[in-house]
């Protein structure tokens, strides 16, 4: 989805990700991808529990153990295939089940549950930025062996989480943005929007294939990454 954002710092110790070998890229991206996808799903289940639905908890999905959440295609095959093709990386995990009838205010609460995933990605992007800042601070001297990997991993964490946040906020069911929109629209319009859900994945593939998805997502992704870099002086 568009060209990569490269990290430029005053310390000049971070070079573009393309300078890394494939083994190094896998090492740098593995933890950020797993955390981004896993915490996103746990956030859905945790908020659902707070709003009255314990389904995710009863199924053992309120855990950071990635084994409970990984989807072989979305968590491994797709991200690393995109890495091999030098494309921005995204992926997905097994969706956390939510029983909307258990929610106290189903329509409103489903929107809140949906918003929790992108919200978690935003928080994680900020935490990875903090880690990157630490890596830059210690990476210019004798501790470069530690600082450089931290800074690279921090950058990967920022990018994957911003991409997942922006992608999931698209107002297209079954993405989180579609569920949020359905939660705020009047009943008849929300029902019409929900009818798109069986075709949402194919619409997304079509947008990706035609390049329209990059056209839509690149500006907010680049803008958010630049904002985070500015806040943390990266």
Catalytic residue among 41, 101, 137, 197: 41
As a dihedral over the C-alpha atoms of residue 46, residue 224, residue 88, residue 63, rounded to 10 degrees, the angle is -10
The verdict on whether omega for the bond into residue 174 sits within 30 degrees of 0, i.e. cis, is yes
Distance CA 170, CA 184 (A): 15
Encoded tokens for 57: 């908890």
Distance CA 208, CA 48 (A): 31
70 by DSSP, 3-state: which?
strand
As a dihedral over the C-alpha atoms of residue 89, residue 94, residue 95, residue 101, rounded to 10 degrees, the angle is 180
Distance CA 41, CA 63 (A): 10
Distance CA 229, CA 155 (A): 10
Residue 127 and residue 40 in contact, taking contact as beta carbons nearer than 8 Å: no
153 by DSSP, 3-state: which?
helix
Distance CA 45, CA 54 (A): 8
Separate counts of helices (H) and strands (E) for the chain: 9, 0
Is 197 known to be catalytic?
Answer: no
Residues acting as catalytic residues: 41
């Amino acid at each position: 989805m568009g060209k990569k954002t490269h990290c430029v710092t005053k310390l000049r110790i971070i070079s573009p990700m393309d300078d890394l070998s494939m083994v190094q890229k896998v090492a740098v991206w593995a933890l950020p991808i797993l955390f981004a996808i896993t915490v996103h799903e746990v956030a859905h289940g945790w908020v659902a529990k707070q709003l009255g639905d314990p389904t995710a908890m009863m199924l053992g999905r309120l855990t950071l153990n990635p084994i409970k959440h990984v989807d072989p295609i979305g968590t491994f095959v797709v991200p690393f295939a995109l890495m091999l093709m030098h494309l921005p990386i995204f992926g997905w995990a097994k969706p956390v089940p939510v029983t909307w009838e258990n929610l106290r205010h189903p329509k409103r609460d489903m929107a809140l549950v949906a918003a929790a995933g992108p919200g978690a990605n935003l928080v994680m992007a900020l935490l990875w930025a903090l880690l990157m800042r630490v890596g830059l601070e210690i990476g210019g001297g004798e501790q470069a062996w530690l600082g450089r990997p931290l800074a690279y991993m921090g950058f990967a964490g920022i990018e994957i989480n911003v991409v997942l946040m922006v992608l999931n906020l698209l107002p297209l069911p079954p993405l989180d943005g579609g569920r949020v929109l359905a939660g705020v629209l009047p009943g008849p319009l929300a029902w019409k929007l929900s009818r798109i859900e069986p075709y949402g994945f194919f619409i997304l593939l079509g947008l990706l294939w035609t390049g329209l998805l990059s056209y839509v997502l690149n500006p907010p992704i680049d803008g958010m990454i630049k904002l985070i870099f500015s806040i943390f002086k990266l």
